[in-house]
Amino acid sequence: MTQAPKDEKPSFFDKPNNVKRILYVFYAVCVLLVALDFVVHRHIYLYFEEIPAFYAIYGFVACVVLVVLAKLMRILLMREENYYEKSESENRQNKKDGI
């Protein structure tokens, strides 16, 4: 990790205490939104929308599904680290051989 020059002032996010404060505010907002779900009247169209904190649960499950799908796609689509370099070296060898 490189260090900032001595004359440069550290930014807001370089201080761990500021990052902790932002995370606490984020968590508080999440808790507040879930709590408001019990108070605010919603116009419900489907029966499962009556479940308390349905949209919070739905969003969490959707994120988990996305992560799991991404991991599965990585297994299927991942290539070797030198995938492109290998093909370039094979091309060079073929040119030398006159193929």
* pLDDT exceeds cutoff 80 at 7: no
Three-class secondary structure of residue 3 per DSSP: coil
Task: Give pTM, 2 decimals.
Answer: 0.55
The pLDDT assigned to 73 comes to 94
4: left (phi over 0), alpha (psi -120 to 50) or beta: beta
Segment 57-71, tens digit of pLDDT: 899 999 999 999 999
Residues 26 and 49 in one domain: no
Tell me the pLDDT of the chain averaged across its residues. Answer: 84
Overall number of domains in the chain? 2
Residues 58, 73, single domain; the answer is yes
Q: Are residues 15 and 33 in the same domain?
A: yes
Q: What is the per-residue pLDDT for 17?
A: 92
Boundaries of domain holding 29 = 10-40
Distance CA 39, CA 31 (A): 13
